[in-house]
Each structure stands twice: as structure tokens, then as C-alpha cells.
Amino acid sequence: MNKQNDTMQNGNDLSPCSYTYQFADDGLSNLQGTLILSAPENENLYYLFHETIFITGEPYANNFLYSIIDINGDSGKGYVMQKNLPILSNKQLSVGKITACKHANGQDWWIIKPDFYADKYYKFLLQADGLHGPYIQSFNDTTMHVMSNGPDQSGFAPDGSKYVHSCGWVREKVFIFDFDRCTGELSYNQYLKTQGVKGQYDLTCVMFSPNSQYMYLSTGIDLYQYDLYDISITSSKQHIATYDSFYSPTPICKTTFFMGVRAPNGKIYLSATNSTDRLHVINSPDSAGIACDFQQHSVQLPKIMAFGLPNFPNYRLGALVGSACDTVTSYQSSVSR
């Protein structure tokens, strides 16, 4: 849509598949199923990453796509220059979980799309001359060979030092990696076994404090905090809150805990696993334990919304000063294709 709330020129028929057509009136419901990045060295162009969903038995994304938008096209209303360009075709990929992190040069972007199983990752590098990849990284670890097709939220810590891949829906695991912003390499660190922490997790969404120290994990009815600086992240777990049974605006609209996004004011806002007119907020996410000041259903919205929130990477992350690649250079990958 353009700024006039109308279809952008050539902006129709994105992600063509039966799943998309099913949700034509309401919007796609797959969490982190789209991502917008500005093109390096061109402030007028934007890349939209998206996918098609195949549902037969266990759902999965079968095509990973991108479209290019000229934001100044059509007299400033925006124009979709190219659309539905294939990145990965006829694959079995995770549903959603499209995430990105700035390269250590502070300009280019790393994009990660997990495979259907959590032991394989497709990585891409967006540079001024276009999109490069895929660079494939696989892990020979049976612990990680679990399906990644649930409504979970994954992502990078704000400083780009950690990548967290959630497979909590039924699979009951959250995988934590160290991330090298220069090479794009993932280094498997540890995982959280989510079952049995104050009841079984039905959902697992992860979000991060602005200082990158704390990871928050929502489970539908509970919110937890983990210290990513702790050697044993699992042992650092602190319970923050349990859903207080509040409903709004009707008795069927539970304000439970779901996806979270970090806002420019430093706070983290959480949606619900339901249609509601409320958001939760973590007012001081850089503080340990209940000092983070989590307030349930405290933000009143003008409209009813459901489930997801915008998928924002850390657009403001700068260069990793002092690293071997803190300036813009051409890239040669050592990761297998």
C-alpha cells in the first residue's frame, strides 16, 4: 500500500499461492513472513522479502522471494519495479522467521532464512550491487534436527552478536548462536529446553533489550527474561509475569502474550495471541528481573489488531569499529553454497 492507503502501482499479486489468496482480505498471518530493507547506497530503493506457503500436512514455505520498490516512483506514491523474484524455489523452508542484521561495515545487510529443520540456514548478503547468495550453513547436530514451522519469533540481538532461532511450538527448543557480522558465520552456542518452565510452552517468541544483554521469551501466558551475558543462559531465567486474565474489548479477546518489537523509545511492545485492542509494554527492558517494569495491556489501541507486529531489524546498527571489515568492501564467502 502507498501513503494514500491505496495499492501501490504494480503492487498487487505478491506472494502468489493459495495461502495468500485465503487471507486476501485480512493480511497474511505467518509471523515474520515479510521484511523491508533499504538498498545500500540508494535511499530511493527498498527490498521487500516475502514467501509463499505450502500447506499439506506440516506447513512450510516453498518459495523465498523479493520485490524491489522505488519509493519515489509514480509521482512520489511508490512503484513496485520488480516483484516475486525467486531467491529460493521449490524448497522446504521454515514458515516466516525472515530476519536480518547489518554487516560489520554498517551498510550492507545479512539476511537469514532457516530451513524447515533448525540445523540448516540459508544466508544472503545485500550490497549496493544487489543480492548475493545463498550461502548455506548446516550443523551436524541431532539436537537441532527439529521442525521450524510454528508461529514463533526469531531474530538478532540489537548489537548483532547473537542470533536466536525459536522452535518452541511443539518442538520445545530455542537455539542460541553467536554471530559474526563480518563473515555471516553462525556459531552454535546453546539451546533452551522450553518444556516444563511453569507449564509447557505453546508459543515461543523472543525479543531483546536495547543493550543486547537480556532476551525476553513469551509463551502465551508467561513472560521470562534470560541473561545472554551469562555463561549458562538457561540458569539465568527469571519469571517476569503471568497473564492476568484480562479481556478487551469483548469477553473472548484475551490479552495473552505473543510477539514483541523494540521501539525507538527503548521500550518493548508485545501483541497478544488473539484479536484485541491492547498492547503490553516492557518499560525498562535493560533492567534485570521485575525491575524491567512489565505492564500488561497498558497501551490502548484505536483499532482491534491480531497477533503479529511489524518485523523490524535494527536499522540503526552501525559499523563494528575495529573489526577486520568495518568498511565497505567486496565480499567473498567461505560458506558452502
What is the domain-level CATH number for residue 125? 2.130.10.10
If you average pLDDT over every residue of the chain, what do you get? Answer: 91
pLDDT at 334: 42
pLDDT at 330: 54
C-alpha grid cell for residue 147? 521442525
C-alpha grid cell for residue 24? 486476501
Cβ(80)–Cβ(110) below 8 Å = no
Cβ(226)–Cβ(218) below 8 Å = no
Query: Domain total for the chain?
Result: 1
CA distances from 223 to 50, 68, 134, 141, 239 (A): 29, 37, 35, 29, 6
Cβ(224)–Cβ(241) below 8 Å = no
| 51 is a domain residue | no
In the structure, what pLDDT confidence band is assigned to residue 151 with cuts at 50, 70 and 90? confident
For residue 105, give the DSSP letter: T
Q: pLDDT tens digits, residue range 5-55?
A: 999 999 999 999 988 888 887 777 788 999 999 999 999 999 999 999 998
Residue with cell 516483484: 83
Q: pLDDT tens digits, residue range 48-96?
A: 999 999 988 888 999 999 999 999 999 999 999 999 999 999 999 999 9
| 71 is a domain residue | no
| 337 is a domain residue | no
Nearest Cα residue to 271 out of 283, 279, 282, 263: 279
| 194 is a domain residue | yes
Q: Does 329 have pLDDT greater than 80? A: no
- Mean per-residue pLDDT for 281-303? 97
Cβ(120)–Cβ(114) below 8 Å = yes
Q: Does 199 have pLDDT greater than 80? A: no
Q: 32 has which bridge partners?
A: none
pLDDT at 131: 96
| 266 is a domain residue | yes
Distance between CA atoms of residues 210 and 307, nearest Å: 23
In the structure, what pLDDT confidence band is assigned to residue 336 with cuts at 50, 70 and 90? very low
C-alpha grid cell for residue 104? 560489520
Q: Does 193 have pLDDT greater than 90? A: no
The phi, psi pair for 264, rounded to 5°, reads -60, -20
- Mean per-residue pLDDT for 297-314? 92
Domain that holds residue 186: 89-306
| 135 is a domain residue | yes
pLDDT at 324: 86
| 227 is a domain residue | yes
| 326 is a domain residue | no
Q: pLDDT tens digits, residue range 116-132?
A: 999 999 999 999 999 99
CA distances from 7 to 11, 76, 77 (A): 6, 13, 10
Tell me which H or E stretch contains 73. helix 73-76
The phi, psi pair for 271, rounded to 5°, reads -90, -175
Q: Please give the model's pTM, rounded to 2 decimal places.
A: 0.92
